[in-house]
Amino acid sequence: MAIAILLWCIAALIGTAVVAVAAARSRHAMRTVYALCFAACGIALSAALFHLAAGGGAAQTLTLPLGLPWLGAWFRLDALAAFFLVIVNLGGAAASLYGLGYGRHEPAPHRVLPFFAAFLAGMNLVVLADDAFTFLLSWEFMSLSSWALVMTHHREPSNLRAAYIYIVMASFGTLALSLAFGLLAGSYVQYGFEAIRAAEHEPLVAAFVLMLVLLGAGSKAGIVPLHVWLPLAHPAAPSHVSALMSGVMTKVAVYGFVRIVFDLRGDPVWWESMVVLGLGGGTAALGILHALMEKDLKRLLAYSTIENIGVIFVSLGLAMAFQANAMQWAAALALTAALFHALNHSFFKSLLFFGAGAVLTATGERDMEKLGGLIHRMPATSFLFLAGCMAISALPPLNGFVSEWLIFQAVLQSPDLLEWGLRIMVPAVGGLLALSAALAAACFVKAFGVTFLGRPRTPAAERAGEADRFSIAAMAVLAALCLLAGVLPGFVIDGLAPVTLALIGESMPVQASLPWLTVVPIAESRSSYNGLLVFLFIAVSASLAVFVIHRFASRALRRAPAWDCGFPNSSPLTQYTAGGFAQPIRRVFGTLAFRAVEHVDMPPPGDTRPARLTVELHDLVWEWLYAPVERAIGFAAVRLNHLQFLTIRQYLTLVFLALVTLLLALAIWS
């Protein structure tokens, strides 16, 4: 029943896309398309929530006579799919709502509207697919429609380059995934997930499948070193699409990983979890370090997405490690934490991208060094952006804290693991996580402080106006969800119970029955967290503090010159900059992570030109991994180019020699 509703919603989205192609230039197209998308996502969201709230229940399947004639298109709605459908459609509904207002500022709506609806449909289809063919087809559909969205403003050369790198990486990822499914299908060529699940997979084949999935889903999610396209492509799209790509599409990639590794592939081996843990930890730390160095607000958010994906993959790696050690309760905890963090990240990352989009429309600027002081001109946006920053920095009582706390609870179970390698590695990765959590906080202090506080650095920032009511509403809904999920995490954890039950065979203890809505991951004696009490405490103490200050301190409002500490020059340029804020951290980690070099150009005495400090940063992943590959391909292309200009006889000779060589190989080999 629910699956039929969901498929109808997807059909409606595809239909919207088709209609949008025809009617994109009409006056009401924008509102109609976003309203239709909002309605379709809303219905799909309710269906998925209903399925999840009914305890996951039995999985529903449906086969449509589409796709390969002898196979058909199989769809299945189980607890895992329902959970990710919630993420997809919540993000989709929020983005559609935001688009209702934001879309008015879009100069080329006919390039956005059709692909927006198609993109939503593609992500829904990936999650529902129940055979390899449908999965890959929807995956590629999702990639291509998002690629078209990245290409929206195709006149800018940087966007062209971003889209090019994106499509190369996306094709590479799909190739890896199709190879993975080829291995899973085995010699019996079983492409239905049901058959793959039932089949036994050799350990070596399973290990190869894991590597290929890490390449395929990992490149879509943005695991280092496959992340290079992400900070280019996500900011290039219009902001509500950036929010969808960062907040939702990376989660679909996580879904692909979880579906294949935990559901289809069979039980993991302990060393495999070390690979996932290492990649996740490195991704988290490198992602947030890059984010700290960034001046572009949307690129900063994209890099922070990479960090959060790292956090999620660390948690998934923990779940694999515990599963390999038959510690199902701990594996359930780690998997719940990973999925919870995926949900949370979709909330606050969408919220932050919406905020960045509001700033972009208000000022036309993405560079933080040219913003500042927006809190006076965009109070509602600033407040909601601040909420998102607090949530992503994992401050209680918001949702980011709960999921990261759960992940650390899982890390703390590592002494019970059997293998020494894991026992040593898990705390080390936990240390990396703690580091990246702290750096994330610093990063978002920078993002909020430089963008919204202080004084405007440019006239554009000075003239900014508040965002429209649809954008505010979309951000407010997401901020409220951040607070709700943080204050009442028990309901989310209980909602995830059927997912872990189906994948691992165990679930976390039921939280709803505990007094005072406390969260107890393992046992009351070990650790517990009560978001509601923390929230009440913070609310009460903050109100008291405000009351005390206003009652007993001076109530008079005083206006005084800012920065008036011996500086007669009160230009806004004397303010703290983003680069200045990140400098101490760059000094600590920069030489290692970016091979940072500072050049100081100090003029000699008597010379009146200004002194200059330039910082040179290197993207080591790009320089060591991608640049050599690029050079090798370029070299080979140049060398092979003259094959295009042979004479007829030389072509014949080539064919002839190829034939003879193959025959020789056959003769020698047999």
Partner 1 sequence: MGDIVFDIAHMLAGGLVLVSFMLLYQDRLYALLNIYALHALMLTLSVAWQAFSQAAPHLYVTAAIALVFKAIVIPVALHRIIQRLGIHREIETVVGVGPTMLAGMGLVALSLVVILPVTPEGDPLAREDLAFALSVVLLGLLVMVTRRNAVSQVVGFMSLENGLVLAATGAKGMPLVVEISVAFSILIAFIVIGVFLFRIRERFDTVDIGALDDFRGERR
- When the beta carbons of 158 and 653 are compared against partner 1, the nearer one is 653
- When the beta carbons of 510 and 663 are compared against partner 1, the nearer one is 663
Over the window 487 to 506, marking each residue x when it contacts partner 1 by CB under 8 A and - when it does not, the resulting string is --------------------
- When the beta carbons of 636 and 652 are compared against partner 1, the nearer one is 652
Residues of this chain, 188-227, that bind partner 1 according to CB under 8 A: none
- When the beta carbons of 554 and 670 are compared against partner 1, the nearer one is 670
Q: Which of 554, 569, 614, 670 binds partner 1 (CB under 8 A)?
A: 670
In three-state secondary structure terms, 64 is strand
Residues 298 and 322: beta-carbon distance below 8 Å: no
666 near partner 1, judged by CB under 8 A: yes
664 near partner 1, judged by CB under 8 A: yes
Beta bridge partners of 214: none
How far apart CA 168 and CA 120 sit, in angstroms, is 21
Residues of this chain, 642-661, that bind partner 1 according to CB under 8 A: 645, 647-649, 652-653, 655-656, 659-660
- When the beta carbons of 480 and 655 are compared against partner 1, the nearer one is 655
With helix as H, strand as E and coil as C, how does 636-653 read? HHHHHHHHHHCCHHHHHH
Non-local CB neighbours of 443 within 8 Å, separated by 6+ positions = 288, 291, 292, 300, 304
- When the beta carbons of 608 and 670 are compared against partner 1, the nearer one is 670
User: Residue 599 belongs to what H/E stretch?
Assistant: strand 597-601
How far apart CA 451 and CA 353 sit, in angstroms, is 14
- When the beta carbons of 553 and 667 are compared against partner 1, the nearer one is 667
In three-state secondary structure terms, 302 is helix
Residues of this chain, 541-570, that bind partner 1 according to CB under 8 A: none
Q: What's the DSSP call for residue 618?
A: -
Identify the sign of the CA torsion 551, 557, 558, 562.
Answer: positive
- When the beta carbons of 188 and 669 are compared against partner 1, the nearer one is 669
Angle between helices 379-392 and 420-452 (to 10 degrees): 170
> Least distance to partner 1 from the beta carbon of 642, Å?
9
Q: Identify how many contiguous H helices and E strands the chain contains and give both numbers.
A: 26, 4
Classify residue 539 by burial, with Cβ atoms within 10 Å: 0-12, 13-18, 19+.
exposed
Q: Using the rule CB under 8 A, give the single segment among 170-178, 527-535, 611-619, 640-648 that binds partner 1.
A: 640-648
> Least distance to partner 1 from the beta carbon of 218, Å?
43
> Least distance to partner 1 from the beta carbon of 662, Å?
9
Over the window 590 to 629, marking each residue x when it contacts partner 1 by CB under 8 A and - when it does not, the resulting string is ----------------------------------------
Nearest of 275, 573, 605, 583 to residue 429 by alpha carbon: 275
Non-local CB neighbours of 359 within 8 Å, separated by 6+ positions = 297, 365, 366, 371, 374, 378, 381, 451, 464
Non-local CB neighbours of 635 within 8 Å, separated by 6+ positions = none
Residues 461 and 453: beta-carbon distance below 8 Å: no
- When the beta carbons of 204 and 667 are compared against partner 1, the nearer one is 667
Beta bridge partners of 192: 131
> Least distance to partner 1 from the beta carbon of 651, Å?
10
Non-local CB neighbours of 626 within 8 Å, separated by 6+ positions = 228
Q: Which of 560, 600, 611, 667 binds partner 1 (CB under 8 A)?
A: 667
> Least distance to partner 1 from the beta carbon of 637, Å?
19
- When the beta carbons of 18 and 660 are compared against partner 1, the nearer one is 660
- When the beta carbons of 622 and 656 are compared against partner 1, the nearer one is 656
Within a 10 A sphere around the Cβ of 295, how many other Cβ atoms? 17
Length of the chain measured in residues: 670
Angle between helices 157-185 and 203-221 (to 10 degrees): 160
Helix, strand, coil % over all residues of the chain, rounded to 5: 75, 5, 25
Residues of this chain, 95-114, that bind partner 1 according to CB under 8 A: none
Total of residues contacting partner 1 (CB under 8 A): 15
Non-local CB neighbours of 612 within 8 Å, separated by 6+ positions = 599, 600, 601
- When the beta carbons of 204 and 640 are compared against partner 1, the nearer one is 640
Residues 115 and 33: beta-carbon distance below 8 Å: no
- When the beta carbons of 525 and 670 are compared against partner 1, the nearer one is 670
> Least distance to partner 1 from the beta carbon of 644, Å?
11
> Least distance to partner 1 from the beta carbon of 271, Å?
42
Side-chain half-sphere CA neighbours of 528 within 13 A: 15
> Least distance to partner 1 from the beta carbon of 666, Å?
5
> Least distance to partner 1 from the beta carbon of 635, Å?
22
Write the single-letter amino acid at 262.
F
Alpha-carbon 432 to chain mean position: 19
- When the beta carbons of 510 and 664 are compared against partner 1, the nearer one is 664
- When the beta carbons of 600 and 666 are compared against partner 1, the nearer one is 666
- When the beta carbons of 434 and 663 are compared against partner 1, the nearer one is 663
DSSP E strands, 498-541 = none
Residues of this chain, 341-360, that bind partner 1 according to CB under 8 A: none
> Least distance to partner 1 from the beta carbon of 652, Å?
5
> Least distance to partner 1 from the beta carbon of 648, Å?
6
> Least distance to partner 1 from the beta carbon of 656, Å?
5
Side-chain half-sphere CA neighbours of 472 within 13 A: 11
641 near partner 1, judged by CB under 8 A: no
> Least distance to partner 1 from the beta carbon of 658, Å?
11
Q: Which own/partner pairs from 564-573 qualify as long-range (CB within 8 Å, at least 24 positions apart)?
A: 572/372, 572/373, 572/454, 572/455, 572/456, 572/457, 573/457
> Least distance to partner 1 from the beta carbon of 645, Å?
6
> Least distance to partner 1 from the beta carbon of 48, Å?
56
> Least distance to partner 1 from the beta carbon of 638, Å?
17
User: Which residues of the shown chain bind partner 1 in the complex (CB under 8 A)?
Assistant: 645, 647-649, 652-653, 655-656, 659-660, 663-664, 666-667, 670
